[in-house]
Amino acid sequence: MQTSNRILDDLARVANGAISTLVGIKNEIDALVRQRIERLLNDADVVPREEFDAVKAMAAKARTEQERLEIRIAGLEARLGVKPAAGTAKPAAKARKSAARKKKPATAKTAARKKKPAARRSPGKG
């Protein structure tokens, strides 16, 4: 009976040693993969998420400030009776409203213009 226990004990020790070795190998592989990925990201010059979020917030703030200033300039021009310059863009909110009002349902002529066939290619070129 003791011989079978000794064999089982030896098998258990070998199994424990193999498992601990596999865990060590797994940890080493994880560390190597992590290093490779970090090196690839550093070489690729990827922007960190925090910096991206900061720039995104700055851009949103700049856009709202620009729209506010456009509305203010339009109000000042209206008060002075000056027509806006030809290249001056309308404030975004007013531009969206006026574009929505200008849309008309398609007529037969506009539908025919939209269905114009594409330019033909010469037979030799593909």
pLDDT of residue 10: 87
In angstroms, the CA 10 to CA 3 distance is: 10
8 A C-beta contact, residue 69 and residue 88: no
Task: Yes or no: say if 51 and 45 are a contact pair by the CB < 8 Å rule.
Answer: no
pLDDT of residue 86: 63
Helices (H), the chain: 2-44, 49-80, 92-102, 108-114
Q: What is the mean pLDDT of residues 101-111?
A: 52
pTM: 0.38
d(C-alpha 99, C-alpha 48), whole Å: 38
